[in-house]
Amino acid sequence: MLLYAQLNYYNMSIQFAVILTMLSWHILQKGTKRVQFVRNLIREVSGFAPYEKRITELLKVGKDKRALKVAKRKLGTHKRAKKKREEMSSVLRKMRCVLLD
């Protein structure tokens, strides 16, 4: 919004504004092994946040929709909430797999 207002102020074309906004997106790098190792280490040492524990408990009982609502309220967006729910369900799967072995 601010970029568009500034460009109109200087009498530039809308096409130029679109090009500038397209160029402003940045490409994220893929996570390296070192970064992944450090994140896993921190997760192992610090454990889960209280809302993450609640999400895992809800997933254990089978209340996926409620878990999504809790995650959405804590994280803010639907997309982040879905990703967190999937992350917690994968953690539960790994825990079950370890317990069975």
- CATH number assigned to the domain comprising residue 80: 1.10.10.1760
Query: What is the per-residue pLDDT for 22?
Result: 59
Q: How many domains does the chain have?
A: 2
Same domain, 56 and 93: yes
Check the CA dihedral 46-95-93-53 and report its sign.
negative
Q: Span 5-10, mean pLDDT?
A: 53
Residue that is written with structure tokens 């639907």 in the block: 78
Confidence of residue 30 (pLDDT cuts 50, 70, 90): confident
Same domain, 47 and 4: no
Instruction: Indicate the pTM of the whole model.
Output: 0.66
Quote the domain boundaries for residue 73: 39-100
Residue 9 has pLDDT above 60, yes or no: no
Three-state DSSP class for 49?
A: coil
Same domain, 61 and 12: no
- The pLDDT mean for the chain works out to 83
